[in-house]
């Protein structure tokens, strides 16, 4: 069925079940940002492939609500589908709920699949709908009946993330979690976020594209724990290790019956922002509503992880040097497309030790495609890269010893003054945030404006956040911390030593070009008591041909020169002689 027919069939089932509106999110039963193919329900019903967005369908209207990162992409992918694009200026709001309240008459019923919505999202929905006398049915799963060729449940093999990478054993991590549970007087802790589970049990897999995760649930008790996963995924030695530390492996789909049979007198710590409404309602114990314990524990990288991250960045810089050298050598003599460059970058990364895969599908945007913030080139439609204009390349790798995410913007021909000005204003913002010294307790929203101030001074801005947390051989987007211009979780979260966060200001002109520069920065204790600062760990030079030195202060020039010296010193030993000489020129100095 094409999209219009899918909508028609969905509406037929809605009438049959007396449902006036259906909300279809981008998540899975684990409230993941990136989901396995089996749960790509919103993409299936709409054709929109972005990672963030919500579809709401009534008998009269079908809409997709998404944020500024996906406006241009959504316009292209929704064309002719019968689904209207609703633009969200703040990605953390829920305007689709406002739409339903305004357009549904009293007595209507909104249907959702309670497995796909968190308990907190469900409570928010009920609070918004109830004053208008609109009911919420949390047990509506109409997509399963329609999606005849739905991909199967992920069955890829898992592997243990060794302690030499993780820095802590599973037993040590369980002990840390239990210590926090004791502070809350909890007998159990329910875990559903896939990266929390992967971190806790030193478990990695390939169930979710670009995210080395395994589909599982977990419950941590005072002395025993339970991992709900397809046992056939686990290596024998890993299963034995779990048994030795009193972790019982149970089938994935038994999670609901397990929580339903807990002791009524027991207390279980549950993060209702991560727990699906279906499981939350089935818990037969006293619930302690608190944030997931592993969420913050894994955000603060330990010394072993930090040492590995620094090494992974060297490998990553060398891989990119080889890929971009290839681009320069071939762009004049053969056809190079956005897709072929993305493939070359992945190929060069794959030659590095302990490589797992990409941390996300590379965003290679030539000229106007660079203005599409989360643009992904496709073989049938991608642009040919010519030796003119500018190119935005945002990519990342998953290694056993770290996760990388880097964006560079390049000039493929002498840039005009306007482009150089915009690039330099973005670079100044990146440097300002990189050089920040700030008191303990400072939040992401307080730091965000450091990266925007130079654009703001010229009446310019970008609509996405300035940065997100990054996992360790885990999700490239890892909560809670980040830099954002609003009081979202990223904006409200405090920066703590050991947190790894992206620093990625940008500027975009629709139909012309996009500029973004991104490094990963590590929060650490500063030289001033009570203050923190950042260490830049990403290792790749900036394009100085795009830089207008007249707009830079002496301190900014010095920062660039010291950074380029460090990049060359660390990365060049991993390069062949020819690429090394080329790389030396790229790591030039600003005078």
pLDDT tens, position by position, 10-47: 999 999 999 999 999 999 999 999 999 999 999 999 99
Q: Which residues contact 158 (CB under 8 A, 6 or more apart)?
A: 203, 204, 205, 214, 229, 233, 234, 235, 238
Q: Classify the phi-psi angles of 378: left when phi > 0, otherwise alpha if psi is within -120 to 50, otherwise beta.
A: beta
Q: What does the pLDDT look like over 152-197, one tens digit per residue? A: 999 999 999 999 999 999 999 999 999 999 999 999 999 999 999 9
Task: Quote the CA–CA distance of 446 and 450 in Å, as a whole number.
Answer: 8
Residue 303 has, within 13 A of its CA and on its CB side, a CA count of: 0
Yes or no: say if 60 and 104 are a contact pair by the CB < 8 Å rule. Answer: no
User: If we measure between CA atoms, which residue out of 291, 218, 222, 230 comes closest to residue 259?
Assistant: 218
Residue with tokens 């409404």: 277
Strand 267-270, strand 286-289: pairing: parallel
DSSP, collapsed to helix, strand or coil, labels residue 49 as: coil
Share of the chain above pLDDT 70, in %: 100
Q: Which CA distances in Å does 353 have to 213, 311, 391?
A: 20, 11, 28
The span from the CA of 479 to the CA of 471, in Å, is 9
pLDDT by 10s per residue, the chain, length 591: 799 999 999 999 999 999 999 999 999 999 999 999 999 999 999 999 998 999 999 999 999 999 888 888 899 999 999 999 999 977 777 899 999 999 999 999 999 999 999 999 999 999 999 999 999 999 999 999 999 999 999 999 999 999 999 999 999 999 999 999 999 999 999 999 999 999 999 999 999 999 999 999 999 999 999 999 999 999 999 999 999 999 999 999 999 999 999 999 999 999 999 999 999 999 999 999 999 999 999 999 999 999 999 999 999 999 999 999 999 999 999 999 999 999 999 999 999 999 999 999 999 999 999 999 888 899 999 999 999 999 999 999 999 999 999 999 999 999 999 999 999 999 999 999 999 999 999 999 999 999 999 999 999 999 999 999 999 999 999 999 999 999 999 999 999 999 999 999 999 999 999 999 999 999 999 999 999 999 999 999 999 999 999 999 999 999 999 999 999 999 999 999 999 999 999 999 999
Write the burial class of residue 303 (CB in 10 Å: 0-12 exposed, 13-18 middle, 19+ buried). Answer: exposed
CA 207 from chain centre, in angstroms, equals 16
Q: Which tens digit of pLDDT belongs to each residue from 465-491?
A: 999 999 999 999 999 999 999 999 999
Residues 6+ apart with CB under 8 A from 107: 133, 134, 135
pLDDT tens-digit series, residues 256-289: 999 999 999 999 999 999 999 999 999 999 999 9
Q: What is the dihedral of CA 370, 374, 375, 379, to 10 degrees?
A: 140
Q: Is the Cβ–Cβ distance between 571 and 583 less than 8 Å?
A: yes
Query: All domains of the chain, ordered by start, with CATH?
Result: 3-146 (3.40.350.10), 159-299 (3.40.350.10), 303-586 (3.90.230.10)
Query: Diameter of the chain by CA atoms?
Result: 73
Cα separation, 48 vs 3, whole angstroms: 10
Tell me the two tokens of residue 467.
């940065």
């Amino acid at each position: 069925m094409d999209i219009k027919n899918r909508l028609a069939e969905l509406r037929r089932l809605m009438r049959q079940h007396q449902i006036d509106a259906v909300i279809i999110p981008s998540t899975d039963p684990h409230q993941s940002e990136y989901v396995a193919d089996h749960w790509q329900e919103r993409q299936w019903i709409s054709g929109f492939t972005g990672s963030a967005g919500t579809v709401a369908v009534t008998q009269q209207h079908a809409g997709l609500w998404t944020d500024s990162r996906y406006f241009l992409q959504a316009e292209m992918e929704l064309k002719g589908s019968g689904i209207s694009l609703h633009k969200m200026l703040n990605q953390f709001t829920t305007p689709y709920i406002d739409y339903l309240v305004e357009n549904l008459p009293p007595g209507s019923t909104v249907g959702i699949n309670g497995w796909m919505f968190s308990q907190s999202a469900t409570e928010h929905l009920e609070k918004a709908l109830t004053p208008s006398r609109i009911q919420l049915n949390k047990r509506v799963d109409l997509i399963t009946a329609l999606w005849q060729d739905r991909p199967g449940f992920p069955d890829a093999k898992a592997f243990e993330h060794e302690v030499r990478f993780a820095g802590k054993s599973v037993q040590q991590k369980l002990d840390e979690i239990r210590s926090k549970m004791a502070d809350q007087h909890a007998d159990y802790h329910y875990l559903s976020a896939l990266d929390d589970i992967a971190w806790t049990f030193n478990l990695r897999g390939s169930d979710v594209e670009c995210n080395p995760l395994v589909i599982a649930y977990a419950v941590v008790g005072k002395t025993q724990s339970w991992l709900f996963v397809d046992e056939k995924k686990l290596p024998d030695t890993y299963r034995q290790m779990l048994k030795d530390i009193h972790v019982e492996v149970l089938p994935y789909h038994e999670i609901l019956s397990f929580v339903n049979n807990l002791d009524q007198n027991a207390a279980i710590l549950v993060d209702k922002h991560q727990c699906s409404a279906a499981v939350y309602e089935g818990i037969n114990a006293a619930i302690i509503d608190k944030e997931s314990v592993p969420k913050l524990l894994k955000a603060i990288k330990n010394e072993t992880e930090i040492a590995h991250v620094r090494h992974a960045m060297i490998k990553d810089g060398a891989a990119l040097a080889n890929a971009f050298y290839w681009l320069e050598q071939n762009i004049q003599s053969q056809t190079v497309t956005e897709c072929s460059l993305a493939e070359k970058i992945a190929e060069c990364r794959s030659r590095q030790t302990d490589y797992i895969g990409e941390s996300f599908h590379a965003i290679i945007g030539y000229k106007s495609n660079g203005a599409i913030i989360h643009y992904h080139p496709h073989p049938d439609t991608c642009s040919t890269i010519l030796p003119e204009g500018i190119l935005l390349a945002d990519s990342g790798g998953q290694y056993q010893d770290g996760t990388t995410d880097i964006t560079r913007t390049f000039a493929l021909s002498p840039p005009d003054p306007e482009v150089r000005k915009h690039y330099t204003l973005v670079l100044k913002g990146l440097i300002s945030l990189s050089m920040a010294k700030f008191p303990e307790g400072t939040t992401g929203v307080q730091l965000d404006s450091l990266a925007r101030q130079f654009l703001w001074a010229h009446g310019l801005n970008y609509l996405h956040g300035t940065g997100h947390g990054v996992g360790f051989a885990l999700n490239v987007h890892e909560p809670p911390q980040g830099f954002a211009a609003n009081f979202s979780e990223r904006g409200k979260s405090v920066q703590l030593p050991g947190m790894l966060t992206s620093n990625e200001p940008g500027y975009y002109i629709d139909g012309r070009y996009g500029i973004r520069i991104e490094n990963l920065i590590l929060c650490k204790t500063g030289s001033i008591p009570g203050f923190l600062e950042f260490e830049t760990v990403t290792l790749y030079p900036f394009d100085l041909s795009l830089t207008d030195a007249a707009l830079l202060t002496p301190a900014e020039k010095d920062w660039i020169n010291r950074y380029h010296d460090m990049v060359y010193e660390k990365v060049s030993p991993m390069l062949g002689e020819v690429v090394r000489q080329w790389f030396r020129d790229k790591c030039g100095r600003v005078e």
